[in-house]
Amino acid sequence: MLVALSFIVAVACSSSARDPATPPAPDSSATRSPLPERCPPSVPNCVAWDAFSGPSGPIVLSTSGQPWATWGLACSDCRPVFETDGSRAGMAPGSDKNFIWLATIDTGYATGITVSANIRLTPTPLRANAGLVALFADRMNHLVCKIEVTEGHPGGLLAIGDQQHGVTTSLLAHRTDVGLVSGNTYRLELRVPSSPAHSRVTCRASGQGIQPTKVAYHLTAANIAAYGAGTSQGLRIKIFEDEDDGNSSWDDFEVARTATARKGIRALPA
């Protein structure tokens, strides 16, 4: 049994931390049109959007035109595992288990943004652990916002965590018993302020049967040095025998500017 919301794992990896998984050569049935579509009018200042509404197959291009990259914390050359069924993104059948998987797109913005998506938790009781990432510098250094329904958190958990120099920390900020239910859909929002050195990052969940709930965390100088310049955002899922079973999914993924967006930050001012 993992410690409550413990992502705290040491990730051993012999490959380069910055090499994304190499996708197979896509065919016409696995890619969407390279022509970007306009973001929905309901998303002002949108810089990226994916409705996952293209032909079934690996997620390759976002609806707004940016390419997706797939990452596994335990390997840099794992095959892509995220795919769309024409309406949602999820794990491909037969995907490798016992991994933390991520899919990211580089928007060119690190701060002053909100990353959001609808997350449908797996219907399997006590087997859900899915979320979002921002400030993604590489697979070993990034910020996490997630929701979880597991044996350790049967009443639902909302948390901010991170991956820093290959070590996963789950409880930077969290709330338990927030009312999450397996099989339900929730809107998850990860907000990175324009100046994380002075304002807190937040992770907010809303949706079926719960009161909107938020947790916040003030990035440290060490956090900022590790991933403050990361300009990618995306999806995250943790698949283990007592975590997600691989059947949680996402739709309506959005990245929007919420303030003066910046390319990145390196250190706290003196």
Local confidence band at 39 (pLDDT 50, 70, 90 cut-offs)? confident
CB 132 within 8 A of CB 117: yes
pTM here?
A: 0.82
Domains of the chain by range and CATH?
A: 46-262 (2.60.120.200)
Q: 25 burial class (0-12, 13-18, 19+ CB within 10 angstroms)?
A: exposed
Per-residue pLDDT at 107 exceeds 70: yes
Return the higher-pLDDT residue of 41 and 46.
46
pLDDT score of 262:
60
> Beta strand pairing status for 99-106 and 167-176?
unpaired
User: What does the angle CA 188 – CA 192 – CA 193 come to, to the nearest 5 degrees?
Assistant: 135
Q: What are the Cα distances from residue 8, in Å, to 2, 46, 144, 162?
A: 9, 33, 13, 9
Segment 7-25, tens digit of pLDDT: 333 333 333 333 444 444 3
Please determine, for residue 42, whether its predicted confidence score (pLDDT) is greater than 90: no
